[in-house]
Structure 1
Amino acid sequence: MPKWCKVRVKNGGDAIRGSDAKLNPDKDRDSSFIRFTQLVDLNARYRNMPSTFERRVQYGQLHSVLVCELPKSNLLRLQESKVFLLAHITPCDTSIRRGGTEIWPDATQEVVSYKDTLTSIIVDISAVEVVVGRVKYGIAEKRWGIIDRSGEGARTTFVDQDGWEDDYDLQ
């Protein structure tokens, strides 16, 4: 399955380079940390309860974008071949408890930090919104603060690999 390591937010937005890309540490910054959103079923662990979905803002590290090409298939109800772009992400555990409820804060609205990461996931690339920054802090307990300066209109689109002078090939 082909994989890419770069996406660019349209309308002159951020360039996001996955962590699987080869970087030159002398000139390249780590732009692999992202903001993404998902609809999460709050009752997923309860088999007999109806699904209740909540939009959740999350932050994590983009590793790569997988290009999944599916051929025409009656079994899959695909009348023509289709390409799916899937983001391989390791989410940061930014969840906190407020009033006995687990919440996932939005770093555009309040201070958000994390210490640990969660299990890697694969999501549709349309869930990826923008690149975010991180700041390391703390002495006894090292944490990372998320810096999210995104606006409401951020969306992901793709740039042809020939469009960047500093493209790196994946091995």
Structure 2
Amino acid sequence: MASVVSDSRDASYVRYAMLVDKFGRRKRRKPVYELQTFYGQLQHIYLLKLPPSCSRDLKVDSNGTEDTTVILAGIRSYKLDEGENVTLADAGLDFQFYTTTGGFDVVDITSVQALVGRVQSLENTRQWVIIDRSGTLARAVFADDDDQSND
């Protein structure tokens, strides 16, 4: 087994987007979804073959007679350090700082938008810097299927 050296490259860090309910903690409130960007490490890829009966129940596009293939990504997310990230965003730099990991998200593979790099901070050895060079044009846009109102 080969050892990993400190300057080796790891292409498993990604940027992904999800629709998140703004009022998710309020049980009786009608959900209002907003697009949020997340960063994390891709840890698993799941391939699911669903029979036609499941595809119909889940409202997945299929012709109704063949199995439907769904590919999911298992991603360990990172909790971004908001204070420093706001300062860099104002300067036009797309660097994100984090020190701790977040939850494990399982998302549709199409939510993964780009590979990102990361380097360890020189000032704080527990902190990492995510470098996203994909630019503003490589962002997800979700079409609203039903007419949501904010009443």
| TM-score, normalising length: structure 1 | 0.63
Specify the alignment match of 1:124 in structure 2: 108
1:94 aligns with 2:74: no
- Distance apart, 1:154 and its partner CA: 7.2
Identical columns (%): 28
Name the residue aligned to 1:136. Answer: 120
- The amino acid of 1:128's aligned partner reads V
CA distance in structure 1 between the partners assigned to 2:113 and 2:24 by the alignment: 25
Deviation at 1:25, TM superposition (A): 3.6
Aligned pairs, number: 128
The structure with higher relative contact order (CA 8 Å, sep 6+) is 1
Moved over 6 A (4+): none
Task: Say which structure is richer in helix.
Answer: 2
Alpha-carbon RMSD across the aligned residues, in angstroms, is 3.2
Distance across 2 between alignment mates of 1:23 and 1:33: 21
Counterpart amino acid of residue 82 in structure 2: I
Distance (whole Å) between structure 1 residues aligned to residue 107 and residue 15 of structure 2: 13
**Equivalent residue runs for 1:28-39 within 5 Å:** 29-39=9-19
**Helix, strand or coil: the match of 2:114?**
strand
Q: Using structure 2 for the length normalisation, give the TM-score.
A: 0.70
Confirm or deny: 8 A CA contact 1:92 1:118 kept in the other structure. Answer: yes
- Which runs of 5 or more structure 2 residues have no equivalent in the other structure? 141-151
What is the CA–CA distance in structure 2 between the aligned matches of 1:24 and 1:141, rounded to whole Å?
Answer: 21
1:35-94 Cα offsets, whole Å, 9 max, x none, are: 101111111111111212111111000012100110110762662321100000000111
Specify every segment of 5 or more residues in structure 1 that has no aligned partner in the other structure, as ranges. 1-21, 98-102, 156-171
